[in-house]
C-alpha cells in the first residue's frame, strides 16, 4: 500500500481540525476525512465557550460574525425556582455559532496546508502487525484503502473507530442524552447572563440551560441520564416555575439530539500508530458537558506527539504515550475533581438543591465566586478559593448534604 499521507485525521469537528491545523503548521502532510458534505453541519452544540479557554488556544478574539453573544456570568435556578447569580466584572464566556466556528478552524487548517476530503466516511482502520497503518474510506459507493503513519481519531462520541483500535470508550453509565433547540420569542431574558436549571425533575444527570441571543432568541436545551430528553424539555417549558414563564410562548426550531460523555477522559488514548482526541476520548468537563475547549487543548498535544513520532520514525504506543502523559498533566487533576463533583451533584435530591441554593445566597457566596479565575480548570480554581471563609463554609454545607443523603 503506497503512503497516502503522514497523518490521517478522522472527523472535521473542532478537535480534528485543530489537530490538523497544528500539524500543518509544523509542516506535516495531513488529511482530514469528514463524513458530511459541509464542515460544522449538522450542528449539535450550544457553542458556549470560555474566553480564557479561547485565549489559551490562541483563538481569541474570534471573528465577530462567529460570536452570537457574550456573558458576564450565570444564573442558577433550583427546581422550585430559587435563584443564585454569579456576575463577573468582564465577559467570561461567549456563545458561538458552531457551524461558523467549525468552518473557521477548518479554514485556518487549510490555509496552513491541511487537506480535507468531505463526504468521506472512514469505515475502518487498517491494522498490520498490531500497528494502525491507515484507513478504509467510503465515498458514495466506492471504497479506498489509504495508508498513514499515524491515524488521529476525532470522530466524536460514537467511538466506533476507537473500539476498532482496541481502546475502551467512555463508560456508558456516564453518557447523557442531550436535546437542544433554537427558541424564538423568549421572555424576560437578561441577555448578558446564561441560565442554568438544576434538578432531577427536569434534567437528571446534568442540567437544563438557556443561552440568550439578541432579539428574544435563545439556545435552550438539557441533558439527562434517564427518560426522554424531548419530553423533559417540554416539561421544563411548561412546568418549571421560572423557565415556564420565559418559554411559554417560545417557538422552537432546529431541534437536535446527541449524547455527551461525562465520565472524564478514557483510560488510554493511544496505541501503535493511533491517537484519540476530543469527544472520542471523552475529553469533556464532567460538571458541564463542555468539550470544545478541552478537546482542542488535547488536539494540540496530539499534533505535537504525532510530530515527534514522525521525526523519530517511531510510531509505537510507547512513543505516542507521551500524548496521554501531557494531557493528564494539563487536565487530569481537574477532570478527576469534576467527575467527583458530578457524581456528588447527581446524588443530591431536588430538596437539597433548593436548600443549597438558598444557603449559597444567604452567605453571599456570589461575592467570592465573582473572583473565580478560570471556569475550565474548575478543580484548581476552586482549590485556590479554599482559604476563603464563605467558600469553605459552602463546601462543608455541600459535603454535609451529600454525606447525609448517602450515609
Ligand atoms: C446538546 C449539546 C450541547 C453542547 N454544548 C456545548 C457547549 O455549549 N460548549 C462546549 O464546549 N461543548 C458543548 N457540547 C459538547 C461539544 O459539542 C463536543 O464536546 C464537541 O463537539 C467535541 O468536538 P469533537 O471534534 O471531538 O467531536 P464532534 O464535534 O462530534 O466532531 C466529530 C466529527 O467527526 C465526523 N465523523 C464521525 N465519524 C466519522 C467517520 N467515521 N468518518 C469521517 N468523519 C466522521 C462527524 O461528522 C463530526 O463532524 C455540547 C454537546 C451537546 C450534545
DSSP per residue, 11-59: --SHHHHHHHHHHHHTT--EEEE-SSSSTT-S-----EEEHHHHHHTT-
CATH of the domain at 240: 3.30.9.10
Same domain, 140 and 206: no
Q: At which of 224, 246, 261 does a domain end?
A: 261
301, part of any domain = yes
What confidence score (pLDDT) does residue 194 get? 98
Same domain, 103 and 197: no
- Does residue 319 surpass a pLDDT of 80? yes
Beta bridge partners of 222: 179, 208
What confidence score (pLDDT) does residue 372 get? 82
Same domain, 91 and 191: yes
Domain around 165: 3-46+99-171+265-341
Mutate to test the pocket of ligand 1, among 8, 13, 21, 70 (most ligand atoms within 8 A of CB): 13
Closest by CA to 7, choosing from 280, 314, 303, 321, is 303
Through-space distance between the first and last CA atoms of the chain, rounded to whole angstroms: 60
Instruction: Place 365 in a pLDDT band, splitting at 50, 70 and 90.
Output: confident
Mutate to test the pocket of ligand 1, among 21, 46, 152, 163 (most ligand atoms within 8 A of CB): 46
Residue nearest atom 27 in ligand 1 by C-alpha distance: 156
Same domain, 191 and 275: no
Same domain, 75 and 182: yes
Distance CA 3, CA 10 (A): 17
| Mean pLDDT in residue range 12-18 | 98
Same domain, 88 and 120: no
Q: How far is the CA of 16 from the centre of ligand 1 (A)?
A: 10
Q: At which of 341, 363, 394 does a domain end?
A: 341
Instruction: Place 400 in a pLDDT band, splitting at 50, 70 and 90.
Output: confident
- Does residue 80 surpass a pLDDT of 80? yes
Same domain, 152 and 29: yes
55, part of any domain = no
54, part of any domain = no
Same domain, 387 and 331: no
What confidence score (pLDDT) does residue 152 get? 98
- Does residue 405 surpass a pLDDT of 80? no
pLDDT in tens, 325-336: 999 999 999 999
**Total count of domains within the chain:** 3
pLDDT in tens, 193-235: 999 999 999 999 999 999 999 999 999 999 999 999 999 999 9
- Does residue 3 surpass a pLDDT of 80? no
Ligand 1 — pocket residues by CB below 6 A?
10-16, 33-36, 44-49, 121-122, 154-156, 158, 161, 178, 180, 221, 258, 260, 278-279, 284, 289-293, 295
What confidence score (pLDDT) does residue 407 get? 65
Closest by CA to 233, choosing from 242, 218, 243, 246, is 243
59, part of any domain = no
CATH of the domain at 154: 3.50.50.60
- Does residue 1 surpass a pLDDT of 80? no
pLDDT in tens, 251-291: 999 999 999 999 999 999 999 999 999 999 999 999 999 99
Q: How far is the CA of 177 from the centre of ligand 1 (A)?
A: 13
pLDDT in tens, 81-112: 999 999 999 999 999 999 999 999 999 999 99
- 234 phi, psi to nearest 5 deg: -60, -40
pLDDT in tens, 155-200: 999 999 999 999 999 989 999 999 999 999 999 999 999 999 999 9
Same domain, 29 and 103: yes
Same domain, 88 and 118: no
What confidence score (pLDDT) does residue 2 get? 65
What confidence score (pLDDT) does residue 398 get? 81
Ligand 1 atom index nearest CA of 284: 19
What confidence score (pLDDT) does residue 403 get? 82
Same domain, 221 and 193: yes
**To the nearest whole number, what is the mean pLDDT of the chain?**
95
61, part of any domain = no
Amino acid at each position: 500500500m503506497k503512503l497516502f499521507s503522514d497523518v490521517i485525521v478522522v472527523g472535521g469537528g473542532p478537535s480534528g481540525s485543530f489537530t490538523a491545523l497544528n500539524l500543518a503548521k509544523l509542516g506535516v502532510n495531513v488529511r482530514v476525512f469528514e463524513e458530511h458534505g459541509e464542515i460544522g453541519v449538522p450542528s449539535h452544540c450550544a457553542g458556549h465557550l470560555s474566553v480564557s479557554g479561547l485565549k489559551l488556544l490562541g483563538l481569541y478574539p474570534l471573528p465577530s460574525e462567529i460570536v452570537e453573544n457574550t456573558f458576564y456570568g450565570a444564573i442558577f435556578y433550583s427546581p422550585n425556582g430559587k435563584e443564585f447569580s454569579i456576575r463577573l466584572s468582564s465577559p467570561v464566556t461567549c456563545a458561538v455559532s458552531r457551524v461558523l466556528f467549525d468552518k473557521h478552524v477548518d479554514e485556518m487548517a487549510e490555509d496552513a496546508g491541511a487537506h480535507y476530503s468531505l463526504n468521506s466516511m472512514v469505515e475502518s482502520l487498517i491494522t498490520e502487525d498490531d500497528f494502525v497503518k491507515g484507513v478504509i474510506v467510503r465515498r458514495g459507493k466506492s471504497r479506498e484503502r489509504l495508508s498513514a503513519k499515524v491515524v488521529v481519531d476525532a470522530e466524536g462520541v460514537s467511538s466506533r473507530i476507537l473500539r476498532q483500535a482496541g481502546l475502551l470508550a467512555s463508560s456508558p453509565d456516564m453518557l447523557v442524552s442531550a436535546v437542544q433547540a433554537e427558541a424564538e420569542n423568549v421572555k424576560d431574558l437578561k441577555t448578558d447572563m446564561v441560565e442554568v436549571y438544576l434538578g432531577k425533575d427536569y434534567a437528571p444527570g446534568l442540567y437544563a440551560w438557556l443561552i440568550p441571543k439578541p432579539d428574544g432568541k435563545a439556545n435552550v436545551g438539557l441533558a439527562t441520564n434517564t427518560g426522554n430528553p424531548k419530553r423533559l424539555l417540554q416539561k421544563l417549558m411548561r412546568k418549571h416555575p421560572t423557565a415556564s414563564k420565559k418559554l411559554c410562548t417560545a417557538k422552537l426550531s432546529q431541534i437536535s439530539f446527541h449524547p455527551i460523555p461525562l465520565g472524564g477522559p478514557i483510560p488510554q488514548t493511544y496505541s501503535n500508530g493511533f491517537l484519540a482526541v476530543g469527544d472520542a476520548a471523552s475529553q469533556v468537563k464532567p460538571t458541564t458537558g463542555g468539550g470544545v475547549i478541552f478537546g482542542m487543548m488535547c488536539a494540540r498535544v496530539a499534533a505535537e506527539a504525532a510530530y515527534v513520532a514522525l521525526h523519530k520514525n517511531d510510531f509505537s504506543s510507547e512513543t505516542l504515550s507521551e500524548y496521554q502523559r501531557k494531557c493528564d498533566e494539563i487536565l487530569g487533576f481537574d477532570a478527576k475533581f469534576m467527575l467527583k463533583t458530578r457524581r456528588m451533584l447527581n446524588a443530591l435530591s431536588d430538596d437539597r438543591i433548593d436548600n443549597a441554593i438558598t444557603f449559597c445566597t444567604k452567605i453571599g457566596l456570589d461575592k467570592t465566586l465573582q473572583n473565580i479565575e478560570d471556569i475550565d480548570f474548575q478543580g484548581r480554581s476552586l482549590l485556590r478559593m479554599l482559604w476563603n471563609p464563605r467558600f469553605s463554609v459552602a463546601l462543608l454545607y455541600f459535603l454535609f448534604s451529600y454525606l447525609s443523603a448517602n450515609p
